[in-house]
Amino acid sequence: MEIVKRPAPPTGLRRKLWRLPILLYRLGLGALLGGRVMLLNHVGRVSGLPRQVVIEVVEHDENGYVAASGFGVKADWYRNVTASPEVTIQVGGRVHPVTAVPLPAEAGAVIMARYASQHPTAARRLCKLMGYAVDESQDDYHEVGKHIPFVRFVPR
């Protein structure tokens, strides 16, 4: 695993395109996005205003939903949920009240390696997007997972 270049969060037109799935949720069409994408409703840590972002579900089980902050700890949504962890998520057509719990680096490493074995193409693209060059071995994905902040959204 090699860190090529850590990208900054999108701005301008790229940001608008990244936020397009929010419109689908607002129109009641979130179910079209399936179970691998969720709408996160949270509160801005500075403004106190409601915020929304669509992020990928990396893992889902009886303990909740897990997402990765691809832009690291500086991503606004990540900073917001660590400041105010009581949030709601919407996956498909269902809304869930949850608590955001940041995961330790080793847990993120295990989750990333498991994600890569289940979704190899998506994992490869995700790593490239986040600025990591991987040789696609489980060890590389494990190492990448140590550098990415993961959050588990635990049902309340």
Residue 62 identity: E
Q: Report the predicted TM-score, pTM, of the whole model to 2 decimal places.
A: 0.90
Residue 131 identity: G
Write the pLDDT tens digit of every residue in 60-86: 999 999 999 988 898 999 999 999 999
**What is the enclosing helix (H) or strand (E) of 66?**
strand 64-68
Query: What's the mean pLDDT when you consider all of the chain?
Result: 91
Structure tokens at 56: 């990928």
Between CA 156 and CA 153 the distance in angstroms is 9
Would you tell me the crossing angle of helices 138-147 and 120-129 to the nearest 10 degrees? 40
Phi, psi for residue 10 in degrees, rounded to 5 = -65, 150
pLDDT at 1: 67
Asked if pLDDT for residue 11 goes beyond 80, the answer is: no
Give the domain ranges of the chain.
2-155
CATH superfamily of 2-155: Electron Transport, Fmn-binding Protein; Chain A (2.30.110.10)
Phi, psi for residue 99 in degrees, rounded to 5 = -115, 130
**What is the enclosing helix (H) or strand (E) of 153?**
strand 150-155
Asked if pLDDT for residue 98 goes beyond 90, the answer is: yes
